[in-house]
Structure 1
Amino acid sequence: MRRTASPLSLILLGAGVFLLVLAPLLVAQVLPQAKRTPLDVDTTTVFEGSGSYFDTARLETVHDRRITITRQVRGDVAEGVRSGKAVWDVSTSVDTDATLPAADTRDSLQWTLERWVTDRRTNEPAHCCGESPVFDGEAYLKFPFDVEERDYRWWDGTLGAVVLLRHTGPGTVQGHRGLRFTGSVPATRTGVRQVPGRLVGLPDRPQVLAEEWYANSAIELVVDRPTGRILYAATGPRKTLRAPGSDKDAVVLLSSGKIAFTEATQRQQVKLASADGGRLKLLGGTLPPGAGILGGILALVGGLLVARGRIAPTARP
């Protein structure tokens, strides 16, 4: 007589060994791959607020008007695969009620098209692939994964430089908890623009190179901690023109105390963060120990069944 293993015992043993091998691989291999900036991003965020802007038709600044900022982010998947970086094309338009809905973004009060390239793992800027502008810092359209309770260097595209955002505690958006960061920008000269002299108080000069100045009274962000996704954003921009060498604003191009994510954008960002965060939590927390425990049980049961086997008659010569 001899003992043979049943098919069920072999299946249980094999499944248990597989799960025991899978558990550490989820932590060492799968989770790091999941914590990578996506290539195929396609999102639109909308800010709304009220303030002042320069009406080019009336050649004067108008006040207490609604201002809408729309930002569309689309990933260049082909370039991302080729380079191994996250390549995002970003269209940002500033509109008034007169230009919404805009059939052409070039009809907006202000429109910019940029290409942002970042390292998919660290979120640091990657200088390749037609990047424009060349930027710096460690947080831009998103923060790195696993956001820490510390200050971050945030790239302000209007300023063309880094702004220090200070961690100011927790923040909640649509019931979703995150980390809150705030900062501001003092009045800073950002460039020059050729305009009629009378526009900046110099009527005797037909054209002058007026100085462009920018300030931001209140930058506020609430960021999802696991994913680095921005759940809420608010800004208080002020863009003006000054006569050459003057220390006083002559023309207000754009000014608002607060332009912030709409309710719909907040809900969208929370939904995306919850879905991505849930997957990361499953891969980094629940799934590996669960796979290890279940694998251990199956391997033990299968091993015992294999050891016991079942008695079968031995063929006689």
Structure 2
Amino acid sequence: MHGRRTAAFLALGLGAFLIVLGPLLRWYVLPSVQLAAYDQDFTDVSTGTGYYLDQSTGRLAWGQITVARHTLGDAGAGRTVGKAVWDISTRVDTPRTSKLADARQAFSLSVHRWVFDRHTNRSNSCCGGDTGAGADGYLKYPFNAGHRSYLVWDGTAGRAYRADFTGIRTLYGRSFNQYTMRVPATRIGTMRVPPSVVGLKPGADPVTAEEWYSNPEAVNLIDPLTGAPAGGSSHQIITLRLPGSTRTAATALDVELRSTPGTEKALVDAYKAKHDGLALLTGPVPYVLLGVGAVGVAVGGVLLRRPRTVERAPVTTGALPVGGAAR
């Protein structure tokens, strides 16, 4: 009997613990880890071969283009406001400028600040944020990214465009959602170039031309649970127009870029531990624990029941004579 009661209490205790643990993991632990990092620090690199305007000669050249994007989280500012605050610097280099240590001498250089909700991924304009307004994602997508379309920020165009789910890709043995975005021709600024570049008669003074950017196909590979990128590709085109004209006067950039294998491997390695942890919390584990706990409580209750006592009729060992007492 003592062993039976001990087993019953063990089953009840373990069952009650699992009943509490399952919902705790799903509705308390999960929200506390499903958050973008304050202290992000990563450099992703894309390369491709294409045309670019060599500003040293004023002529179109052909060669390798390298785009290095460094993302650095401002953890102090982020913790103050409870948002992720990421500073993003993007440097574009040609064969000539890639050798220059001063980033200001690159083919192009941009620095932006993305402030966003750590859970929903929605942008916020506080803390000097100038990137991502109205977008669902930029460098990363929301957690639990689905088979649907998202508004994704294009850093060159400076606005968000629709990115459609276009399938699943496997990279280093893991599955990623593929999203494809198309950016129509968009004016992004101006550039001072020699007159001959835009078809004018050669002169001493440079002229101002409008820069128009388009991207016929930008592909992002995204880990569905974390929303983290695993690489991608894009076709970046920048053309020049004379002010007020709708005609392309020259091409400043035309290159198909793709994340380097080193970048892809580093991104996959950086997020796979978080992916696996979220897979446990968002999958069946909390519900299995809840179910096993309920079974344990039920078993403990059964074991604690006292066995029913069976009443039996008294048994006599000798019969008395009819009509009299024994003498």
TM-score, normalised to structure 2, is 0.81
CA contact (8 A) 2:124 2:133 kept: no
Q: Name the counterpart of 2:278.
A: 280
My pick for the range that moved more, 150-159 or 95-104, is 95-104
Aligned-pair CA distance for 1:35 = 1.5
Q: Deviations over 1:187-230 (max 9, x none)?
A: 23233334443442333683533111111122112221111112
Partners of 1:165 and 1:142 in 2: how far apart? 13
Q: Secondary structure at the match of 1:57?
A: coil
Structure 2 residue 60 is matched with structure 1 residue 50? no
Q: Deviations over 1:221-240 (max 9, x none)?
A: 22211111122311101112
Q: Name the counterpart of 1:234.
A: 233
Q: Name the counterpart of 1:206.
A: 205
What does 1:109-258 correspond to in 2, within 5 Å? Answer: 109-133=107-131, 135-203=133-201, 206-256=205-255, 258=256
Q: Deviations over 1:28-83 (max 9, x none)?
A: 111122221121211111101101112222222211x1111111111111111111
Q: Secondary structure at the match of 1:28?
A: helix
Q: Deviations over 1:232-259 (max 9, x none)?
A: 3111011122222333333322211x20
AA of the residue aligned to 1:77: A
Taking a change above 3 Å as real, the CA distance of residues 8 and 130 of structure 1, as seen in their structure-2 partners, is farther
CA contact (8 A) 1:68 1:94 kept: yes
AA of the residue aligned to 1:274: K
My pick for the range that moved more, 92-101 or 291-300, is 291-300
Larger Rg: 2
Partners of 1:276 and 1:133 in 2: how far apart? 26
Taking a change above 3 Å as real, the CA distance of residues 15 and 56 of structure 1, as seen in their structure-2 partners, is same
Structure 2: give runs of 5+ residues left out of the alignment. Answer: 307-327
Q: Name the counterpart of 2:266.
A: 268
Partners of 1:291 and 1:154 in 2: how far apart? 38
Q: Deviations over 1:161-194 (max 9, x none)?
A: 2222222222222332122221322323233334
What does 1:279-298 correspond to in 2, within 5 Å? Answer: 279-292=277-290, 295=293
Structure 1: give runs of 5+ residues left out of the alignment. Answer: 309-317
Q: Name the counterpart of 1:314.
A: none
Aligned-pair CA distance for 1:118 = 0.7
Partners of 1:157 and 1:49 in 2: how far apart? 18
Q: Secondary structure at the match of 1:137?
A: coil
Aligned-pair CA distance for 1:277 = 1.3
Greater share of strand: 1
My pick for the range that moved more, 143-152 or 173-182, is 173-182
Q: Deviations over 1:101-155 (max 9, x none)?
A: 5533223221111110111111111110111246331121111111121121111
Q: Secondary structure at the match of 1:210?
A: strand
Aligned-pair CA distance for 1:93 = 0.8
My pick for the range that moved more, 43-52 or 167-176, is 167-176
Query: Aligned to 2:81, which of 73, 80, 83?
Result: 83
Q: Secondary structure at the match of 1:18?
A: helix
Partners of 1:262 and 1:108 in 2: how far apart? 20
Q: Name the counterpart of 1:313.
A: none
AA of the residue aligned to 1:251: A
Partners of 1:132 and 1:254 in 2: how far apart? 25
Structure 2 residue 91 is matched with structure 1 residue 93? yes
More RCO (CA 8 Å, sep 6+)? 1
Partners of 2:6 and 2:76 in 1: how far apart? 47
Q: Name the counterpart of 1:315.
A: none
Partners of 2:99 and 2:44 in 1: how far apart? 15
How high is the sequence identity, in percent, across the aligned residues? 37
AA of the residue aligned to 1:165: A
Taking a change above 3 Å as real, the CA distance of residues 234 and 32 of structure 1, as seen in their structure-2 partners, is same
AA of the residue aligned to 1:292: L
CA contact (8 A) 1:198 1:205 kept: no
CA contact (8 A) 2:210 2:240 kept: yes
Structure 2 residue 61 is matched with structure 1 residue 62? yes
- When the two structures are aligned, how many residues end up with a matched partner? 304
Structure 2 residue 25 is matched with structure 1 residue 23? no
AA of the residue aligned to 2:186: T
CA contact (8 A) 2:58 2:194 kept: no
